[in-house]
Structure 1
Amino acid sequence: MQDWWQTTFPQGRQTLVIQDANDRPVSIAYGEKGVGKPLVLVHGVASWSYCWHANIDALAEHFRVLCFDAKGSGFSDKPLQPEQPNYKVIELERVIRALCDEPAVIVAESLGALAALAVVQAHPELCDRLVLLNVPIFPKQLPNWGMRLLADIPLSLVETVDQLRLAKLLEPIIRQIVYVLREEVVADPSHVTADDVYWSTYPQIEFPGTLTKLAAEFQLAAREIRLLEQGQPNLIHTVQQNLSKITCPTLILWADQDRWFPVSDGEKLRDRLTLAKLQIIPHCGHYAAGGQPQFVNTAILSFLAESTRLSWQN
């Protein structure tokens, strides 16, 4: 199997070192393609840069596309230490500052979009325009049984599985389970290919620590959602309360067949943002970037071209 980074980016996989939310140096894997204004792609939970494989080339024809693996995901470092609820927000800000020398276009999916909202609220100078795909801004619970299962398993048990490399031993079974789970997030099961399953599961199977960080992330997310439901202080509520602070042009893309988060959440989000446009992605599940890439690419490029023209006119 070819090296995905090498075949996707002119310089292959590059490395950036940032201070994480615990003020420890961590290595972040990223790729870069194209020239011009920076466009940062932010992946969601249980994912890595590969999730944008069908979008990078189209966007790189017009922008300097920067695609990175968040800490704990993909090819980036996976330090096994407790995390604060807003660690993804802090680290996304630091990645953007390190890679971009001007306000960037931020394109973010799922949990990555929630982190992007928080970053733009706190640091509006970092973002020129914002694109959000199926963002869990009004969640009721972890949307998938696999996520809930990992959130309930003692973290020490998951860490033991990681250390013994049982994921590698059970590779065929894990890939089959993921194949079934992928069908839940796409409208057309034919979009779930062997290559897609192979690369989607590659970090969990090949890199110790990935499963542990994933379980810890689900546990943290489940705790935040419980606090939200109980009316106690939490990161999600803070983001909800500060939506009016986002004043940059924003495109919200929402899949019409998202089984995890309903279109009504996208409508509610649009109504709470100042300069937001909602566009529904037809015949698409939660994984929009890969489920309907041509529609998503066209929608993003059209929005960015239109918002650029409007800024010139003003």
Structure 2
Amino acid sequence: MQDWWRETFPKGKQNLTIADANGHPVSIAYGEKGTGKPLILVHGIGSWSYSWRHCIEPLSKHFRVICFDAKGYGFSEKSAHPEQPGHQLLELERIIRALCNEPAIVVAISLGALASLAVVQEHPELFAGLVLINVPIFPEGLPNRWMRSLSDLPIELLKIVDWLRLTFFFSTLVRAIVRVERREVLVDWSAVTPEEVYWITYPYIYIPGTLAKVTEELQIAAQEIKRLQQKQPNLISKIQSRLGEITCPTLIVWGDQDRWFPATDAEKLRSRLPHAQVKIIQECGHDAPANSPDELNAAILEFLISLEDFECPLR
């Protein structure tokens, strides 16, 4: 297979070093394409920059598009230190500050969108616009059976799996499982190609430490959702309670057939954001960038053009 980074970005994969939430230096993989106002794409849990493969080229015709792999995901460094709830928020802020010398447009999906909501609450000066795709702001639990299964496993066991490279030796099985599970996030899941499955699973099969770190993230997410349901202190309810403070122009995008988080959450969220609008994409599941990229890209560009106080290069 080709080098996806080099095929996608003029400079291929680049690396940025930031201090993570534990104060340790970590290497973040990223790529960028295009010129103009910065537009950052933030992936969801278990994913990496490849999830934006259909959005990078169209959006880069108008913006400086930046894709990065969050710490522990994709080609970014897998820290050996245990993670704490909310570490993604501090790290996202530091990545934006390091890569952008002006307020950025942030386009984020799923857990990445939830993290972006928290960051814009604390640092509104970093955002020129915000696009939230299928954001789990009102979750009832981990939405996928494999997520729930992994979250119940001891981290030490997953570290052994990584150390023994078992995902590599059972790569055919791993890819088969992912291909089947894609039916949950796509409407036409039969269109999934071998190349897509190859790249989605690449970090799990070829980059040791990925499985254990993603599992740790799932466990943190499960614990936060449990605390939310039990009305104990948690990050999700804190984000919910401050939604009215967000003044950044916001577009909420939802797939009408999202099986993980219902499309009705879009309007529920819009009612709590002072400057938000909603776009429902028809015949679209949770993974909108893969399921309906043309509709998603059009919605993003239309939203940016509509911003009265935003000097959009599309005007």
Provide the secondary structure at the position in 1 that maps to 2:251.
strand
Shift of 1:32: 0.5
Q: Secondary structure at the match of 2:167?
A: helix
Checking the alignment, whether the CA contact within 8 Å between 1:191 and 1:291 is kept in structure 2 is no
Asked if 1 retains the 8 angstrom alpha-carbon contact of 2:304 and 2:310, the reply is no
Where do residues 230-309 of structure 1 align in structure 2 (5 Å cutoff)? 230-307=230-307, 309=308
Structure 1 ranges of 4+ moved more than 6 A? none
Q: Deviations over 1:125-145 (max 9, x none)?
A: 000100000000000000000
Residue by residue, what CA displacement relative to the aligned partner does 1:162-182 show, whole Å, maximum 9, x if unpaired?
A: 100000000000000000111
Pairing 1:170-185 to 2, within 5 Å after superposition: 170-185=170-185
Q: Does the 8 Å contact 2:131/2:253 carry over to 1?
A: yes
User: Given that residues 103 and 127 in structure 2 are in contact (C-alpha distance below 8 angstroms), is that contact kept between their aligned partners in structure 1?
Assistant: yes
Q: Structure 2 CA distance, aligned partners of 1:197 and 1:281? A: 24
- Corresponding position of 2:66: 66
Shift of 1:311: 4.5
The 2-side partners of 1:242 and 1:201 are apart by 36
Partner of 1:162: 162
| Aligned-pair CA distance for 1:299 | 0.4
- Match of residue 42 from structure 2: 42
The alignment-based identity, stated in percent, is 59
Unpaired stretches in structure 1, ≥5 consecutive residues: none
Q: Deviations over 1:106-133 (max 9, x none)?
A: 0000000000000000000000100000
* In structure 1, C-alpha distance between the alignment counterparts of 2:77 and 2:44, rounded to whole Å: 17
Paired position in structure 2 for 1:118: 118
RMSD: 0.8
Match status 1:150 vs 2:184: no
Is the Cα–Cα contact under 8 Å of residues 183 and 192 in structure 1 kept in the other structure? no
Cα pair 1:44 1:113 within 8 Å, conserved: yes
Distance 2:191 2:250 in 1: 28
Kindly tell me the number of residue pairs found equivalent between the two proteins: 311
Report Cα offsets for 1:57-109 as digits up to 9, x if no partner. Answer: 00000000000000000000001221111100000000000000000000000
The CA distance in 1 between the partners of 2:60 and 2:200, in whole Å, is: 22
Corresponding position of 1:196 = 196
Task: State the AA in 1 paired with 2:159.
Answer: E
What SS does structure 2 have at the residue aligned with 1:272?
coil
Distance 2:193 2:285 in 1: 15
Q: Which residue of 1 aligns with 2:22?
A: 22
Matched residue SS, 1:296: helix
Deviation at 1:310, TM superposition (A): 4.9
Paired with 1:306 and 1:119, the residues of 2 have a C-alpha distance of 23
Q: Deviations over 1:229-283 (max 9, x none)?
A: 0000001011000101110110000000000000111111000001000110110
Q: Matched residue of 1:149: which SS?
A: helix
- TM-score for the superposition, normalised by structure 1: 0.98
Matches within 5 A, 1:83-102: 83-102=83-102
AA aligned to 2:303 is: F
Alignment of 1:10 onto 2:10: yes
**CA shift in 2, pair 1:155/1:311, >3 Å:** closer
What letter corresponds to residue 270 of structure 1 in structure 2? R
Unaligned 5+ runs, structure 2: none
The two structures have a TM-score, normalised by structure 2, of 0.98
